[in-house]
Amino acid sequence: MSYAPSTAVQAVFLVLLVLPGLTYQFVRERWRGQTPAEGDLGQRVLRAVVASIVLDALYAIAAGPQLLSLARGPAGRGWDGLSESPRTIGLVALVLFVVVPAVAAGLVSWLSRRRATTRYVRTPTAWDFAFENRGSCFVRGRLTDGAWIGGWYGERSYASTYPRGGELYLESARRMHPNGRFGERVEHSAGLYIRTDALDFVEFLTPRAPQAAPEKETE
């Protein structure tokens, strides 16, 4: 059985149910960041649907007869207004489905930050914050078994972002001494992959020569 909308009217009602809430949810997350509960896709969809229902109810209370008249057209029969006034319908849809939900999300986020008693950073995790504006540097970490690993984080390196777990690719690896000091670069190194769940901690060290190329690494 197909659940896809089979008529234009069904498609419009589907948009009414989903789009305002999706816009609200997207802008809210951009302004405030995801909360732990919103990491689950089902929770995010549910919040978007609830936001759509609330916004649609407010639209119906504030301008229900006018919107219905616009959609039905001058004759007031069927839904001819959807095809007879496409520009007006498009403008109204842009305002109701994008502008109003976005403004509402921005206002709610601003009020939430004003009431907050502690500082809130939009960056979702400390891992993301560590790499948000990270320049080239040495990175070393101690494994849970006490061994050290490390290498060069440069332009060809990569760090995962939320909601993925902490993962790091260093474009070149270094040999590590038992005390954590960097040794020579591993010959023909093509990179080093690190999972943070295997580490006790990770440390970043700025090289003496800023933005040093990997072949000129200095501790």
The reply to whether 1 falls in a domain is no
Per-residue pLDDT reduced to its tens digit, 139-154: 999 999 999 999 999 9
Per-residue pLDDT reduced to its tens digit, 161-180: 877 788 999 999 999 999 99
- Alpha carbon 86 to its chain centroid, in Å, reads 33
DSSP strand E in 101-218: where? 137-143, 148-153, 158-159, 167-170, 172-176, 182-185, 192-195, 199-205
Q: Do 143 and 194 fall within a single domain?
A: yes
The reply to whether 121 falls in a domain is no
Q: What is the pTM of this model?
A: 0.51
The reply to whether 87 falls in a domain is yes
Count of domains for the chain: 2
Q: Do 26 and 103 fall within a single domain?
A: yes
The reply to whether 13 falls in a domain is yes
The reply to whether 120 falls in a domain is no
